[in-house]
């Protein structure tokens, strides 16, 4: 009698476990999120949101999904107005490496401009909504001139420097013609890197890219006419296209990176540090940017 009770109890537990696992798998399938129980060939969606400041988290996700044999293609969902030159270039190169192993399709959200477009150009195919704000192929280096304000409040900076260009961007004085020419040459060089990257990624002539690389923004519809975007469509269209390129039949299963669990304090400290560093870099004139033009609306 006792053995029979143990057997029944064990059977019930096994049945409950099967139901639980089945429910989790079904829920994961419906949501298209990675719970570790989505089976079969999959399309991974990696999101790039906000200002491009740190490439490492996205690179880690791309590397993870590239090594995952069950992931047959990737979609980059870009929702970014741009950001730093270096992280944008790092992400561009990582996407190019990924393309050599698996299909990569970009889906542009409300905005994927400047550095956001730089990254997108490395993919095999780009989807944008008709009203997506994109383009803004250009570079900017910003300085603040507080000379008049300093004079009014009686503040004066004393500079000791090792060379004539060491304090370029000093907010306490006017920029010299030589300094402006030096910085313009620097900007032109970085801008040409941007143009060259777009030309290589989009398989366009550099002269053709140069024609639209004056900082202008475009709608998704305009960008398609200019050859900067391949198709008009949303995230689902991009996922279906990636699945087709990978040879996945039927409705593709979709997986997202696991969200990192962080404490509220950790998040607030990271945000505060990032904002402080960004403001200091801007003030000191140390930050080269691929941003949207001033006054552009993201709403």
The catalytic residues are 114, 166
Question: Quick one: DSSP state of residue 83?
Answer: E
Residue 285 is given by DSSP the state: T
3 state DSSP class of 54 = coil
Identify whether the C-beta of residue 249 lies closer than 8 Å to the C-beta of residue 41: no
* Alpha-carbon torsion angle 292, 293, 294, 297, nearest 10: -60
DSSP for 162-218, written as a single string = SSTTTTTT-TTSPPPHHHHHHHHHHHHHHHHHHHHHHHHHHT--HHHHHHH-SS-EE
Q: Tokens at residue 54, please?
A: 């740190």
Any idea of the CA torsion for 169, 172, 178, 181, to the nearest 10 degrees? 40
Distance CA 79, CA 116 (A): 8
**Which positions ≥6 away from 110 have C-beta within 8 Å?**
79, 129, 131, 132, 133, 298
CA geometry: angle 135, 281, 61, nearest 5 deg: 55
């Amino acid at each position: 009698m006792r053995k029979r009770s143990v057997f029944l109890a064990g059977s019930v537990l096994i049945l409950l476990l099967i139901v639980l696992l089945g429910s989790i798998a079904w829920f994961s399938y419906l949501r298209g999120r990675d719970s570790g129980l989505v089976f079969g060939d999959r399309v991974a969606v990696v999101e790039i949101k906000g200002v491009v400041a740190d490439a490492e988290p996205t690179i880690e996700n791309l590397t993870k999904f590239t090594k995952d044999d069950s992931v047959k293609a990737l979609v980059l969902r870009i929702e970014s107005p741009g950001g730093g030159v270096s992280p944008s270039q790092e992400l561009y190169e990582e996407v190019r490496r990924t393309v050599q192993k698996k299909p990569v399709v970009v889906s542009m959200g409300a905005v994927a401009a400047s550095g956001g477009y730089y990254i997108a150009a490395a993919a095999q195919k780009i989807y944008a909504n008709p009203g997506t704000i994109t383009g803004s192929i250009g570079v900017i280096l910003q300085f603040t001139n507080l000379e008049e304000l300093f004079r009014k409040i009686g503040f004066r900076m004393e500079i000791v420097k090792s060379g004539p260009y060491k304090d370029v961007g000093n907010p306490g004085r006017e920029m010299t013609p030589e300094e402006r020419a030096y910085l313009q040459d620097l900007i032109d060089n970085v801008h040409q890197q941007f143009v060259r990257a777009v030309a290589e990624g989009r398989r366009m002539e550099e002269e053709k890219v140069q024609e639209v690389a004056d900082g202008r923004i475009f709608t998704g519809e305009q960008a398609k006419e200019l050859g900067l975007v391949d198709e008009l469509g949303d995230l689902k269209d991009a996922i279906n296209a990636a699945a087709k390129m990978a040879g996945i039949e039927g409705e593709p299963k979709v997986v997202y990176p696991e969200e990192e669990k962080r404490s509220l304090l950790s998040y607030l400290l990271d945000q505060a540090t990032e904002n402080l560093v960004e403001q200091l870099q801007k003030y000191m004139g140390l930050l080269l940017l691929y941003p949207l033009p001033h006054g552009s609306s993201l709403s």
